[in-house]
Structure 1
């Protein structure tokens, strides 16, 4: 009789034992104690769980950050619009549309203050919004010109703000107006798009009769700009010339091109070009005369040698003179350029220095000769007297 078969030797029992003993066999082959294996497994599991939690937290934070940023941007924009409308001009939406039809020409913020003691009115140009684009690119280079209807040829020009339809001027100018002339005086503001040549393009105009405003208090309101030509046009005299400077050789070329808006009649006009160095007269030249025309064409160039070390102390003055057969020559107006200038003349001077060796041409409005002379503040060439002996 044979011995009974061992149940552990059957194929089924052998396969089950092999499968159940696979992991223990692998663990038994690792020459580590059981406590070290348990600690390693626990650390690996902890790191895996921590990595998954970190990934979930990062995803949640990104989604939460994106949503509040978008909401905050919308909220700030709406808050700014409501604040400006309610604090500066609550009924800005109730103002009647401008006479330019359905097209909008933008708005301008002004402040007016009249000093009865000095008889001066102070005009503060704050800012402008929603201006008309001056070029196909959808932008403009705006600046503003302020003048009074009773003071032809006298005005103020702000600096040019490049590439914007909402410039912040933040400039103040003053005009002397006696109280008796206030009812007949109108404040005119023109917003222009800066152009190097041939002339600036108007972006909008504004005319405010001072007689209808209560100037006993400081006024700061928004005004709608009208289309160019709505304000009464005033006869202004202008001069067009180009500047070119070469720093290496110190050659300053002034080309007098043409003038317009001069007095018509039997008179002859010419232009004087003068250099002022350190508030003292230095060099001067003169064009030939043109007769019987209100828009003379000169096209004459003058070359001056100005070292680069002296260019910052130099003032360039161009004066248009008119001489009639019965009267002596009188200055029609002057233009001063240099580091002490302001407005468009200062911008022209800066462009000449920034674009060396290139002629920069531009139209300039002539200012009263007395006003330019006061701005120059020329010093006398006379030497001071020698001190007396014993003094």
Structure 2
């Protein structure tokens, strides 16, 4: 009709339909929360979503990124570049500096000695008491070798002490030194680690000039050991042999194995094995002759009948004899074993008795023949009769 006004549109949606555009604005007024809560929640959710996205992006970037190599020509930083005295102690020193400082401050142990000079017999009496704080890898088998400098070849070896770095020697040795040469004499003590089949390792040395001590009084004090020398005086040579003793049958078996380090110019060499009973020559045998070599190999066995009751009165001497070019045979060096011996020979003899019925082999340094003969002090009587086998 022309006279009627138009009816207003209804704001309500018909039944069965959903007004999507007006859903959130209609729900917000109905929730009894203030408007600022919605704003803070929206900001927090947005910040959380952005943080998660950034973390995922960083992880993916690091996974695909390759590590960069340091440039080879990068300048090394050491103590020399840090000139400031206030920051030098904060920088770790170089390894070379640490090694040199530790080597310089290394201690080689101490040795307790007693010295006494007898003006009547004109000899120096040296008492080796003990050593402490020896340096070795783990434990060692130390022994001491004592000599005086002007005299060549005359020396004393102590007993070997097993598995210790603080050996108790308690041994005394004497060296003839004229009073006029006392001020020019130097006492030398060398500590070594015993090795049965290889070169003995030096543990420390002591060089004591006798003009620095008072010979009129018995002196006993501790001395600091120094580093071992580069090399010992040239040796005559070495001899390897084994010993075996059977107490029941009284059989002493000596197997001469080989020698080494002999001087050149020896045309023929052989070994004499001699038994001495009560300081008198008793029995003797010898090996075959080896020609033109400084390392002769023998591997020959000799058996002697020595009753157990006489074992403490027997000395065993092995001597290397040689024919030099156009000269007669003469002894090159000797090794003396037995209850009256000392050092390594005495230790070898004791090991033979401690391990009865088992062969005990060992290398020995040869000693000058005159020195061994003087130490044996043989009587010039006729030989004793051989026991019946």
Whether the TM-score (by the shorter chain) exceeds 0.5 is yes
CA distance in 2 between counterparts of 1:98 and 1:216 reads 41
**Aligned match for 1:107, one of 105, 110, 113:** 110
CA contact (8 A) 1:239 1:365 kept: yes
Q: How does 1:1-391 map to 2 (within 5 A)?
A: 101-134=104-137, 138-211=138-211, 213-230=213-230, 233-237=232-236, 238-379=238-379, 380-381=381-382
Please say if residues 112 and 123 of structure 1, whose CA atoms lie closer than 8 Å, have aligned partners that are also in contact. yes
Higher helix share: 1
Distance 1:233 1:116, change over 3 A: same
- Give, in whole Å, the separation in 2 of the partners of 1:161 and 1:351: 12
- Structure 2 CA distance, aligned partners of 1:210 and 1:268? 43
- TM-score, structure 2 as length reference: 0.64
Kindly indicate whether the alpha-carbon contact (under 8 Å) linking 2:265 and 2:325 is maintained by their aligned counterparts in 1.
no
The C-alpha deviation readout for 1:253-287, integer Å capped at 9, x for no partner, is: 21222334433224432211011233333321112
**SS at the partner of 2:124?**
strand
* CA-to-aligned-CA distance 1:274-319 (integer Å, 9 cap, x gap): 1123333332111223344444333332222333343333221111
Separation in structure 1 between the aligned mates of residue 299 and residue 383 of structure 2, nearest angstrom: 36
| Structure label with greater radius of gyration | 2
Uncovered stretches (5+) of structure 2, i.e. residues with no partner: 1-99, 385-389
- Spell out, residue by residue over 1:107-126, the C-alpha distance to the aligned partner (whole angstroms, 9 max, x if none): 11222233344321121212
| Structure 1 counterpart of 2:79 | none
State the alpha-carbon separation in 2 of the partners of residues 269 and 150 from structure 1. Answer: 30
Change (3 A) 1:276 1:168: same
Q: 1:218 to 1:377 in 2, by over 3 A?
A: closer
Q: Which moved more, 1:181-190 or 1:209-218?
A: 209-218
Distance of 2:103 and 2:181 partners within structure 1: 30
How far 1:180 sits from its partner (Å)? 4.1
Do the aligned partners of 1:242 and 1:361 also contact (CA within 8 Å) in 2? yes
1:211-265 per-position Cα deviation (integer Å, ceiling 9, x unaligned): 55554544433222233325x6211223221111222333322122233443322
- CA shift at 1:382, angstroms? 7.0
- Kept in 2: contact 1:98–1:225 (CA 8 A): no
3-state SS in 2 of match to 1:122: strand
The separation in 2 between residues aligned to 1:154 and 1:347, in whole angstroms, is: 19
Unaligned runs of 5+ in 1: 1-96, 384-391
